[in-house]
Amino acid sequence: MKPVSFTSGNNLTDRQLVEKVLRGDTQAFGAIIKNSEGLVAQVVFKMVNHAEDRKDLVQDIYIKAFKNLSGFRFQAKLLTWIGNIAYNTCVNYLEKKKLVLTGLIDKEDEKPLQAANETEIFISQKELSVILATGIEQLPPLYKTLIVLFHQEELSYADMVQITGLPEGTVKNYLFRARKTLKENILTHYKKDEL
């Protein structure tokens, strides 16, 4: 069986997939799940720490997508629409659990950090990847999600706006804060270890 994709060409388009699902083709919805599960997993795993809740949330996301598919108006990519459902489902979960979404307090008088080039020279590329992944996991849920969507999933700001429902300026601001926090955390951690 040929893989089904969200792109045009020889593969089915978003519109064709949606029409097949609405006509009762469960394999078409399976294709939608297969093509979106990477993005959904990234959003859920970055925003929610509790493993058992993640499974329930993923199921909830796809149930919502299935139930609301008839309302999809093709104003965005299907993948982005499902990403928005995933994001909103996770935000609702965090709000119900009274967990902090960003976890940061604005500080007016923060001092700029000095570069730690001498430390970076001695760390191998593999160690840097582990350090970066660990640093990302320590970020608040929204910041983790934005970093992953932009740097790993390589989504545009427009796609991120559609997924999160936040204004573009807010997405850019939070992404800037996420990178800054990540850098500060990594530098602070490795400066302490060097002493």
Supply the CATH number for residue 121's domain.
1.10.10.10
* pLDDT for position 102: 62
* pLDDT for position 167: 94
Same domain, yes or no, for 35 and 79?
Answer: yes
Same domain, yes or no, for 126 and 163?
Answer: yes
Residue 106 lies in a domain: no
| Domain end residue (candidates: 61, 96, 131) | 96
Same domain, yes or no, for 149 and 179?
Answer: yes
Distances (CA, A) of 179 to 44, 72, 82, 123, 143: 20, 33, 25, 20, 8
Same domain, yes or no, for 26 and 67?
Answer: yes
Same domain, yes or no, for 30 and 74?
Answer: yes
pLDDT in 10s for each residue of the chain, 195 residues: 334 444 433 378 889 999 999 999 889 999 999 999 999 998 998 888 888 888 899 999 999 999 999 998 888 899 999 999 999 998 888 888 876 666 543 333 333 333 333 344 344 445 666 777 888 888 888 898 898 888 888 889 999 999 999 999 999 999 999 999 888 888 877 665 443
- Domain total of the chain: 2
Residue 103 lies in a domain: no
Whether the CB-CB separation of 39 and 83 falls below 8 Å is answered with yes
Residue 139 lies in a domain: yes
Same domain, yes or no, for 73 and 125?
Answer: no
Whether the CB-CB separation of 69 and 22 falls below 8 Å is answered with yes
Place of tokens 């573009």: 168
Q: Model pTM greater than 0.85?
A: no
Integer Cα distance of 53 and 33 in angstroms: 19
For residue 186, count other CB atoms closer than 10 A to its CB: 19
Residue 5 lies in a domain: no
User: Which domain does 18 fall in, by range?
Assistant: 14-96
